[in-house]
């Protein structure tokens, strides 16, 4: 059965957005007595930058974890590339082309930037150790391709100068960029960013915003990001889902969401720089 909408749209800045890539249908997720997500539905279209925002504890991380297969909702369906997704482990979701970054950086601290980015290529290594022994040529070709791809992304995100540096020595903002590089190395169809700007200073936030826009523009990558800070995402996103206490209270373009009374109420008294 194909439930994929072909309906796209054109953004205010003239970019063409395609049909539905992912659809969350009536998702409900509880932890014991705590309902983290209550009956939420929304879609993500090909090529768009889609944000999920909301105050503390709204359920944003839980939703990202449902998309990436870390949490299995008690109710609802996840549709991806036109098919209902069966229950899957996170590594299987990753193999389907969904890559993510984490709120708390999850890199290999002792390894160089290049080696960390190379770990993003693991899903593209078809030759296992045994096969590498039998078909040395194929394994070598694959290694060269993987390296070329990693280097291309390193150039693109302007981290060439630190490609040999162990990640542990990098400042926070650069670590976040390396994490983005690693996720991109997987050539994802859908890139999930978990609070990519959290803990950053204004300049780092501006850099990260620019890289997110450039990635979307250059590689056509569909991006879904969650963010606490409403101001940051409004300039960046094509459409925004707003969550509050596990419920969806708004969904639309940044302008629509900004003028939504429920959203204004939810954010009143909540500081967001």
Ligand X SMILES: Nc1ncnc2c1ncn2[C@@H]1O[C@H](COP(=O)(O)OP(=O)(O)OP(=O)(O)O)[C@@H](O)[C@H]1O
**Binding segment (CB under 6 A) for ligand X, from list 15-23, 28-36, 184-192, 261-269:** 28-36
Order across the sheet with 247-252: list the strands: 98-100, 190-194, 222-227, 49-53, 239-244, 247-252
How do beta strands 247-252 and 239-244 pair? antiparallel
Give yes or no for residue 163 binding ligand X (CB under 6 A). no
Give yes or no for residue 144 binding ligand X (CB under 6 A). no
Give yes or no for residue 54 binding ligand X (CB under 6 A). yes
Q: How far apart are CA 37 and CA 113, in angstroms?
A: 36
With CB under 6 A as the contact rule, the residue among 62, 116, 216, 221 that binds ligand X is 62
Minimum distance between the CB of residue 36 and ligand X, rounded to whole angstroms?
3
Give yes or no for residue 100 binding ligand X (CB under 6 A). no
Structure tokens at 266: 């939810």
Residues 210-229 within binding reach of ligand X (CB under 6 A):
228
> Phi/psi of residue 34, each to 5°?
-90, 120
With CB under 6 A as the contact rule, the residue among 8, 18, 19, 57 that binds ligand X is 57
Residue in 229, 232, 17, 227 with CA at minimum distance from that of residue 101: 227
Give yes or no for residue 248 binding ligand X (CB under 6 A). no
Contact residues for ligand X (CB under 6 A)?
Answer: 31, 34, 36, 54, 56-62, 228
């Amino acid at each position: 059965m194909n439930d994929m909408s072909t309906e796209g749209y054109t953004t205010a800045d003239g970019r063409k957005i395609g049909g539905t890539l992912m659809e969350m249908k009536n998702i409900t997720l509880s932890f014991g007595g705590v309902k983290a997500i209550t009956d939420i539905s929304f879609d993500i279209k090909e090529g768009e930058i889609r944000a999920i925002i909301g105050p503390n504890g709204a359920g944003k991380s839980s939703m990202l974890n449902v998309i990436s297969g870390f949490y299995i909702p008690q109710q609802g369906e996840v549709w991806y590339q036109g098919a209902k997704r069966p229950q899957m482990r996170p590594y299987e979701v990753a193999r389907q082309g969904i890559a993510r970054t984490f709120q708390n950086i999850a890199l290999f601290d002792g390894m160089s930037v290049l080696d960390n980015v190379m770990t993003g290529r693991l899903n593209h290594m078809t030759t296992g150790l045994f096969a590498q022994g039998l078909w040395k040529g194929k394994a070598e070709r694959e290694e060269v391709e993987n390296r070329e791809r990693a280097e291309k992304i390193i150039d693109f995100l302007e981290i060439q100068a630190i490609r040999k540096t162990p990640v542990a020595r990098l400042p926070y903002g650069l670590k976040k960029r390396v994490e983005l590089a690693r996720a991109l190395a997987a050539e994802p169809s859908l890139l999930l960013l978990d609070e990519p700007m959290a803990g950053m200073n204004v300049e780092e936030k501006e850099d990260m915003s620019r890289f997110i826009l450039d990635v979307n523009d250059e590689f056509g990558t569909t991006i879904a990001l969650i963010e606490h800070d409403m101001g940051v995402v409004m300039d960046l996103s094509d459409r925004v889902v707003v969550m509050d206490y596990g419920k969806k209270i708004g969904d639309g373009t940044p302008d629509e969401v900004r003028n939504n009374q429920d959203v204004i109420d939810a954010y009143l008294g909540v500081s967001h720089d």
